[in-house]
Amino acid sequence: MNGAVVGRRRELPPWAEWAVAWMATGLIVVGGLYATRVHDLIGIAFFPQQLFGLVLGLMLAIVFLTMPLRRSRTSRAVPRYDIALALAGLACGLYVVIWFPSVAYELSFPTPDKYILGTIAMGLVLEACRRVYGPVLPTVTVVFVLYAALASHFPEFLETRSIPWSRLSTELYLGPEGMLGVALSLVATVVLVFILFGRLTFALGGGTVFTDIATALMGRYRGGPAKVAVLGSALFGSISGSAVANVAITGTVTIPMMKRIGYRPEVAGAIEAAASTGGLVTPPVMSVVAFLMAEYLGLPYGQVVIAATLPALLYFTAILVQVDLEAGRTGLQGVPAADIPRLSHVLRRGWPFLLPLPILIVTLIVFFWEPARAGMFSVLVLVASGYWFVRDKSIRWWFDEVARAGQSVAEILTVAAVVGLIMGSASVTGLGFTLSVPLLQLADTSLLLFLTATAFISIVLGTGLPGIAIYFMQVALIVPSLVDSGVPPLAAHFFIYYFGVFSFITPPVCIAAIAAASIAGAGPMRTGWEAVKLGVVAFVVPFVFVLSPSLLGQGEAWATAVDCVTALLGVVAISVGLRGFLVAPVGPLARAACLVAALGLFLPVDLAAAAWGGKMAGATLFGTVVGGHLLLVQRANAGD
């Protein structure tokens, strides 16, 4: 093996591969033991920051050994400077492990060891994040940190008291709102457990089971392969946490299937991209964000899942309806009967991979376990129930899978540490409030304009980041202005997360659509715009649940029921308008009427008295279009 770059990571020489594997495995073991509270059972007491310091050190060492300085670099060995950076990262982490009990009560008195190591640790974290995710996020972070250090020199609008560098670097290194703060702690426990859960699920063969279930349920209907892609990607994406990984894994199977029965390449790619991205908002896991959201908001996990259910239902209904209408418009068929597995057979064979999810939900909702503990218990159940499928695998195979999960965790930890720097800098200066002032002034002018601007910012900030990182960034930078403007906290969190996530299918930087287009052999931008059409509900519904909590399962039950039914009707209307087909082609005027009707049907009933009028007008207009369309089709058939 050599030091060449494979994808983004180096292909490591034996010694480095061995070191990284053991450190990545250690990262998983330490996080898993902490999640299950083993230390409490055996009576070991320590500061949480000591654990997170160890996690920080391991993360930095793993990243500098595996990720090259430049992606084009093809050296035959790990450079000495990367070995030095890896050792420096370990030293910064081990300092916290060893010395934190001594310095915990004197953080307000910076000493050279603290602020020098703090400065080094910040530089290492920023460089590690740059290597993994590119320069945008580290650059934004540098601006926040420099603002905290030089705030007294800024224009009056931004001017505040500067924080001395010795104190600032110490706080960001060792303080509760810096690198070792809430973002890193959540990734090192909750996110770590669910990355391990997802990795083992698909290593054991769960991905095939999910695809077979989708095929058994939807394969026989027109456009069956596309519907299989939608359901399979929703199941996979909720656990995997990466829209691009979802496209890469499931798309290699589903996109050729869709093209084979007649879907245009850009449509096949768009279906996979839209469905894979939707997996990140699909309960019960939501790419682990459901647990993070519950933690930030101080809400029961079950309440977050309920809130996520209706928007996800509307989103995937829109995709399935459009997929069906596109198949009807172009005369596409389903999967051949010989290729459709029996559902009973799939369930008998795949129950070990389905068992952990209900156990996870029960332990969270019924027994009120902490998410990390419940997730780790589900991992143990998965290993026990799925062992039969890999009983011939060696211990080395298990070790490698856990190590790969640890490397994935290390990469996400770089974002968590960087977000900690942003949140810490904003906290000590009050910058979060300062930045929200212009948006709040916009809200005083027009709520719709304010929400549109916030949605645009969320899309820009979410570009290129994984779902978890998107959520962390939005919580730090955007949520305060939404909450200050009067938006309910739960709706604010869902609003920014939706628009951040769906940056994956929004041109020009639509990375999920680009990944799908490369598999489909289609144009990236055409695929991206097709994906936007399929996922249009994701750009409409967030505005609705900011204006009214009903689609988040909040408020009166009757209002939720009415809004859900009319929103589903609105989904059908908007799908007909976009696809131009119902039971036969629909003309331009009727398509425009459907789109207008959909807007009325989406209006929440408790927004204002006029909302009832809007709903009734929308339902009447859509009913008129459908009735007229069916009458024309009937006359045309009679004429034949």
For the chain, list residues with pLDDT below 50.
Answer: 1-7
Structure tokens at 185: 């702690």
Which of 82, 69, 9 lies closest to 1, judged by CA? Answer: 9
Q: Please tell me the predicted confidence (pLDDT) of residue 433.
A: 64
pTM: 0.83
The C-alpha R_g of the chain, in whole angstroms, comes to 26
| Residues 6 or more apart in contact with residue 394 via CB below 8 angstroms | none
Cα torsion through 622, 627, 629, 632, rounded to 10 = -160
Which of 463, 472, 470 lies closest to 511, judged by CA? Answer: 463
Q: Please tell me the predicted confidence (pLDDT) of residue 436.
A: 65
Instruction: For residues 17 and 344, give the distance between their C-alpha atoms in angstroms, rounded to a whole number.
Output: 43
Question: What confidence tens digit (pLDDT) does each residue in 356-386 have?
Answer: 888 988 888 888 888 888 889 999 999 998 8
The single residue listed with the structure tokens 């418009």 is 329
SS3 428: helix
Which of 23, 56, 51 lies closest to 38, judged by CA? Answer: 51
- Distance (Å) of CA 131 to CA 161, 236, 407: 33, 27, 14
Domain ranges of the chain: 5-183, 556-640
The answer to whether the CB of 79 falls within 8 A of the CB of 69 is yes
Question: What confidence tens digit (pLDDT) does each residue in 224-246 have?
Answer: 888 888 887 877 766 666 787 77
| C-alpha atoms less than 13 angstroms from C-alpha of 582 in its C-beta half-sphere | 22
Q: Please tell me the predicted confidence (pLDDT) of residue 3.
A: 39
Q: Which amino acid, 202?
A: F
Beta bridge partners of 10: 5
DSSP for 494-517 reads: HHHHHHHHGGGGSSSS-HHHHHHH
Which of 112, 62, 51 lies closest to 87, judged by CA? Answer: 62
| C-alpha atoms less than 13 angstroms from C-alpha of 464 in its C-beta half-sphere | 13
Cα torsion through 421, 426, 427, 429, rounded to 10 = 120
| Residues 6 or more apart in contact with residue 457 via CB below 8 angstroms | 477, 478
Structure tokens at 587: 């003309």
List the helix and strand counts (H, then E) for the chain: 30, 2
| C-alpha atoms less than 13 angstroms from C-alpha of 145 in its C-beta half-sphere | 27
Query: Per residue, what are the HEC states of 234-264?
Result: HHHHHHHCCHHHHHHHHHHHHHHHHHHHCCC
**Residue 66, H or E segment:** helix 48-66
